[in-house]
Amino acid sequence: MYGLVTVPYTILLSYHADGNHRYIDGKYASLTTDFKRSAAWVLPMNNRYMNETEKVHCLIIGSGPAGYTAAIYASRANLKPVLYQGMQPGGQLTITTEVENYPGYANGVMGPQMMVDFEQQAQRMGADIRWGMATKVDFSSRPLKVEIDEEKWIEADSVIIATGASAKWLGLESEQRLNGHGVSACAVCDGFFFKGQEVAIVGAGDTACEEALYLSKLCSTVHMLVRRDEMRASKVMQARVLKTPNIKVYWNSETVEVLGENKVSGLKIRNTQTGAEQEIPLSAFFVAIGHQPNSALFNGILDMDDQGYLITQPDSSRTNVEGVFACGDVQDKIYRQAVTAAGSGCMAALDAERYLGALEAE
């Protein structure tokens, strides 16, 4: 999704749900246009908040199930939360299809709709939900300080981090060069543009299977590259993939290069057992090899593991900095489900409430 907005002091903007601009065949392309999102990036350009400092009781960074649930609970506890939505309002669920396993939706729900529901519920409870991104933090003294859009500083009594995780890339030069020109990390967003054509997907987890199945309904053939001789995905997802006639699985296969000058025209792959290379002509290459936590902002400030996941104290959402709490995928590399993210968002709000209560009682 992208939007284009021009207003005084601003520039022409485009925004996509996975944070990447979409540019196909010389034109920006989209499924829908979302002016609200672009507006988020317009406001800072107007220098509206330049040099201002605002005081907030409970600041929430991030807007997936964890952030919105924290906002719902914090609002009901009268913490007057302010939530900044970040680069991808709604988080990873905005780039997924149907969610069948979130309790309460008896007939399933589309991921983007679910996030709209979460946002509306948080707003109804009184959360102040804003477009904007945390760009720097200073947790060295109280109050805690968070910079928004490189323009405005917020002083917060408590901070809840719910920044989630982002798609990983293979790291090939050709993958980067053709990103948005047929290379994508979101089949649900971009599969539509390659209707009736041949495409490939790399990865063998549940995401790759889910996206391969999605693409198989739109595209003529889906070439699926699996780097080992087995898939990591759940058995049920594997079975669905393997019995889909127009998904062709390449076992023990790695991507050597994405082919194409200005847009994807094919893929060069190598069999890791035999060393044999082959080229497959196709129009798009989807990458579905997992995610990395969005925690770079806290490097050297908050404790994290070797993969960058924030470390919280056992049975709590407390980080190593007093008053700073973490929830959702940025601190969970095991479960990574919408419902567990929401549960940990609830925990973070309750922990923040207790912390702020104790602070006031001092």
Q: Footprint of ligand NDP on this chain (CB under 6 A)?
A: 101, 170, 202-208, 210, 227-228, 232, 289-291, 336
Indicate if the alpha-carbon torsion angle 310, 97, 42, 14 is positive or negative: positive
CA 326 to chain centre: 16
Please identify, using beta-carbon distances, which residue of 334 and 361 lies nearer to ligand NDP.
Answer: 334
Of 53 and 101, the one with the shorter C-beta distance to ligand NDP is 101
- Give the ranges where the chain is alpha helix by DSSP (H): 35-45, 65-76, 111-124, 173-177, 187-190, 206-216, 235-242, 338-361
Q: Take residue 42 and report the two structure tokens written for it.
A: 């317009």
Q: How many CB atoms lie within 10 A of CB 28?
A: 14
Q: Which residues contact 4 (CB under 8 A, 6 or more apart)?
A: 12, 13, 14, 28, 33, 38
Task: Name the catalytic one among 189, 209, 219, 327.
Answer: 189
Of the pair 150, 229, the CB lying nearest ligand NDP is at: 229
Q: Which is nearer to ligand NDP, 72 or 338 (CB)?
A: 338
Closest to ligand NDP by CB, 87 vs 225, is 225
For 102, list phi and psi in degrees, rounded to 5.
-90, 120
φ, ψ for residue 185, nearest 5 deg = -110, 15
What is the closest distance, in whole angstroms, from the C-beta atom of residue 279 to ligand NDP in the complex?
A: 18
Distance CA 270, CA 255 (A): 6
The least CB distance from residue 161 to ligand NDP, in Å, is 20
- Catalytic member of 18, 149, 157, 190: 190
- Give the nearer residue to ligand NDP in terms of CB position, either 148 or 226: 226
Q: How far is the CB of 305 from ligand NDP (least distance, A)?
A: 15
Give catalytic status of residue 189 as yes or no. yes
Q: How far is the CB of 249 from ligand NDP (least distance, A)?
A: 12
Candidate list 58, 186, 219, 327, residue with the active-site label = 186
User: Which residue number, 147 or 206, has a Cβ lying nearer to ligand NDP?
Assistant: 206
| 346: annotated active-site residue | no
Q: How far, in Å, CA of 114 to CA of 109, rounded?
A: 6
Other Cβ atoms less than 10 A from the Cβ of 35: the count is 13
Tell the smallest beta-carbon distance from residue 62 to ligand NDP (Å): 17
3-state secondary structure of 148: strand
- DSSP letter, residue 116: H
Tokens of 257: 């290069």
CB of 204 to ligand NDP, least distance (A): 3
CB contact at 8 A, 284 and 215: no
Please, are residues 3 and 34 in contact by the beta-carbon 8 Å criterion? yes
CB atoms within 10 A of CB 52: 11
Tokens at 174, concatenated: 């050709």
Active site residue 186: yes
- Minimum Å gap between C-beta 25 and ligand NDP is 27
Q: How far is residue 246's CA from residue 321's CA, in Å, rounded to a whole number?
A: 51
Number of residue whose CB is nearest ligand NDP: 205
290: left (phi over 0), alpha (psi -120 to 50) or beta: left
User: Could you list the active site residues?
Assistant: 186, 189-190
